[in-house]
Amino acid sequence: MPSPRYWREIPQRYRYEANKCTKCGKVMFPPRLVCPACGSKEFAPTHIGNEGKVVTYSVIRVAPSPFVDQAPYTVAIVDLGEGVNIMCQIVDCEPEEMKIGMDIRLEFRKIQQEGSDGIICYGYKGVPK
């Protein structure tokens, strides 16, 4: 991953930065330039919450190359409230303990590593509450 590409997403991955439409109140994560709900281009900065519920999930057994050492691992869609859903891994939880509706909290974790001398990539993962 080219370093500018990783660096650009740091405000979202490390600090949960989002924007909120000042016209209709829709929260966008990641931020957008146009509100897909009302078409407005006026936003106020905000943050997404760090607690939510699992809406659906799957356990990845056949993983893409950067994640092979982590398999099997769980990926879920999490409802963080205010109409914001995100996709992230759920960790510190065995696959068979996963349930739709489960309460989780986001934590700052290592996501992947680019070989032995590339960027170590961080971001949020869900853990059971």
- Enumerate binding residues for other proteins (CB under 8 A): 9, 30, 36, 55-67, 70, 73, 75-77, 85-89, 95, 100, 111-112, 121, 123
- Measured from the CB atom, is 34 or 100 closer to other proteins? 100
Q: Min. distance of Cβ 67 from other proteins in angstroms?
A: 4
- Measured from the CB atom, is 45 or 72 closer to other proteins? 72
Q: Min. distance of Cβ 63 from other proteins in angstroms?
A: 7
Nearest to 70 by CA among 56, 81, 60: 60
- Measured from the CB atom, is 34 or 63 closer to other proteins? 63
Cα(116)–Cα(101) distance, rounded to whole angstroms? 38
Peptide bond into 30 cis (omega under 30): yes
CB 46 within 8 A of CB 20: yes
- Measured from the CB atom, is 64 or 115 closer to other proteins? 64
Q: Min. distance of Cβ 85 from other proteins in angstroms?
A: 4
Q: Min. distance of Cβ 89 from other proteins in angstroms?
A: 6
Q: How far is CA 62 from the centre of its chain?
A: 21
**Helix, strand, coil content of the chain in percent (nearest 5):** 15, 45, 40
